[in-house]
Homo-oligomer: A and B are copies of this chain.
Amino acid sequence: MIKAAMHAGTAFRRCTFDLFPRRLPTGRSYGVVAGTGRALEALKHFRFGPEEIEFLRDRGIADDMLAEWLADYKFSGNIRGYAEGELFFSGSPVAVVEGSFAEAVVLETLLLSIFNHDSAVASAASRMTLAAEGRPIIEMGGRRTHEWAAVAAARASWIAGFGPSSDLEAGRSWGIPVSGTAAHAFTMLFDSEEDAFKAQLEAMGEQTTLLVDTYDVDDAIRKAVELTEGRIGAIRLDSGDLSVEVRRLRKLLDSLGATKTRIIVTNDLDEYQIAALRGAPVDGFGVGTSVVTGSGHPTCGMVYKMVSRADSDDPDAVQHPVVKKSQNKGTIGGRKTVMRQIDQSGTATAEVIGVDVAPRTDSNDRLVMVDLVRNGEIVGEEPLQDARDRHARARAELPLAGQKISRAEQAIPTIFVTHEGEKTENIYLIGEPPANL
């Protein structure tokens, strides 16, 4: 595309691309933006080195003109977008990239990959922390997904309220807390379960979590309590019918005097099973597969579409909206500004997206988009804790119906405002445009 546009003289026309989800996955009431920080970090290092360029030349993909341009590539445009941890809804312009066609289009795969993956994980993770109602969830899905996706998934789930991750590299790269667990193999390595427990207690102290279901659960619990005189920090159960078992094991622990010992459960948990354990004496969860694979929705389906462009490559040329008409896959041209409408009680009521117009804000309403990159300079970096805090705040604004774990509609409507004025016929919901629009 860039080569052809270069030869035709259009490659440096100023353009704007929106990165947005057409809709939420069926049954989900909201999504969670994650990946912003990773995208900014990746953008910093997004260059084409000699090896990459040689490959492109060898395969006949790049000619001299393109190769030279790639060698000098450094994004010089602007990116505005949702701050990380923020909620998104259908049509939310999560990132808006403005620059020459060439420099903006070459970022398409990078940005979509990061946002589609990280936001899918964060969206699933947020439903799990909602369901857990404050009880901690350890992220332990690294082994169920690509080795680098695992690191990003640990980061995304932490933004959405998870506790520590078992992925040590995630701790090293992103500073998030890490926490381990012993596997069944550790128990089986020793000549007896008791030897294994002793070794773990020796190395980790009495606050460690002992895995109790390698052989006989009740025996294991009795051993754990005996060895620590009732002070064992936690036991982990990784099999069986958890809701029945944990009640029984709580009673057993209490009867042995280990009333402070916590019960941690793992075993292919997802948000539905966590919700089903609401009344059970579970003190913490470990979640793997379901969170790193987005709990049924492993990608967000975000797309990257041109929404306006100039007729020349003058950086100051006015951009006019462009619109694609593909059946059921149309786009809405123009520059977007987003306002989360918040009522007097602090509850979100609508996602209002102004198209070439800023939505009017009232007292509690807040503008959602922030500057991430300005003239090529990255300005949107922030500590990961800020994204985590922002997510907790934004989710607390959701109406009660939007906090359902069961199949739900989008929590608040997405409303596009196409120009200022009193007329409500210029306001429509995604999927339900009035006939005159």
> Which residues does A use to contact B, with CB under 8 Å?
1, 3-5, 7-8, 10, 13, 15, 17, 42, 51-52, 55-56, 59, 61, 101, 105, 108-110, 112-114, 116-118, 142-150, 152, 167-169, 171-172, 178, 180, 182-186, 188-191, 195, 198-200, 202-204, 213-216, 238-240, 289, 292-294, 298-299, 301, 304-306, 309, 311, 322, 324-329
Return chain B residues, CB-CB under 8 Å to A113: 142-147, 150
* CB–CB B105/A10 < 8 A: no
Which 7 residue pairs spanning A and B have beta carbons closest together?
A: A4-B203, A8-B199, A112-B143, A146-B149, A239-B326, A185-B306, A113-B147
Return chain B residues, CB-CB under 8 Å to A55: 168, 171-172
- Oligomer copy total: 2
Return chain B residues, CB-CB under 8 Å to A293: 298-299
Return chain B residues, CB-CB under 8 Å to A178: 59, 61
**Dominant secondary structure at the A interface:** helix
* CB–CB B117/A145 < 8 A: yes
- List 12 interface pairs A-B (beta carbons < 8 Å), by A numbering: A4-B199, A4-B202, A8-B190, A8-B198, A42-B147, A51-B172, A61-B180, A108-B183, A113-B146, A114-B146, A118-B146, A189-B309
Return chain B residues, CB-CB under 8 Å to A183: 1, 105, 108
Most buried by B among A3, A42, A148, A298: A298
Q: Which of B169, B299, B304 contacts A145 (CB 8 A)?
A: B299
Query: What's the Cα separation between A289 and B188 when bound, in Å?
Result: 40
Give the Cβ gap from A217 to chain B, nearest Cβ, in Å.
9
Q: Which of B10, B150, B202, B298 contacts A8 (CB 8 A)?
A: B202
Give the Cβ gap from A151 to chain B, nearest Cβ, in Å.
9
Give the Cβ gap from A405 to chain B, nearest Cβ, in Å.
21
Give the Cβ gap from A62 to chain B, nearest Cβ, in Å.
10
Give the Cβ gap from A6 to chain B, nearest Cβ, in Å.
8
